[in-house]
Amino acid sequence: MSMRYEAFNPNFHIDQAESRSKLRSWFRRQVDGNNFNCKDETVALGFKSEIQNFLQKSLHLDVDNQTEILPSSGPHGIRFLGTLVKRNVIESPAVRAVHKLKEKVKLFTLQRQEAWDAGTVRIGKKWLAHGLKKVKESEIKHMADSSSVLSQISCFC
């Protein structure tokens, strides 16, 4: 915004010490006249294509050349002079290896959790059956009914 304001407003002057960036000087070289109303569409399209080439070749950014208004694509894209600039993150082999290891650890812990839960349920059932058998043997010996539900459950030991 500041560079655009500087280029379009002839009364705006900034310190030379602050304006030594390559992008700012390139922008000023591209906008070398003050009368922008008389320039035709081909000059504007040429300027836009030069900016796109600069973004693609110098800054290695993906530029999507679409004329309609695009919705914001979140933190991975910005709109710049009517174009959508997307940032592609290229992962190094080391980062890919770390992500793969992280997925393997998650899968391993999930499998261990499932095994732990199954073992806990199995042990719980055995202890319940053992406890019910002891209760049946000690407290209700006189009511020895082999068809009762308590007797059937205690047979699972």
Tens of pLDDT, residues 64-105: 665 443 444 555 555 555 666 665 667 788 888 999 999 999
Looking at the chain, the whole-number percentage of residues with pLDDT higher than 70 is 41
Is beta strand 77-80 parallel, antiparallel or unpaired with respect to 83-86?
A: antiparallel
Whether this model's pTM surpasses 0.75: no
CB atoms within 10 A of CB 21: 10
pLDDT band at 141 (very low <50, low <70, confident <90, very high): low
Residue 15 has pLDDT above 60, yes or no: no
Distance (Å, whole) CA 131 – CA 150: 11
Q: State which H helix or E strand residue 152 sits in.
A: helix 149-154
Per the prediction, the chain carries an average pLDDT of 69
Question: Stretch 124-144: mean pLDDT, rounded?
Answer: 75
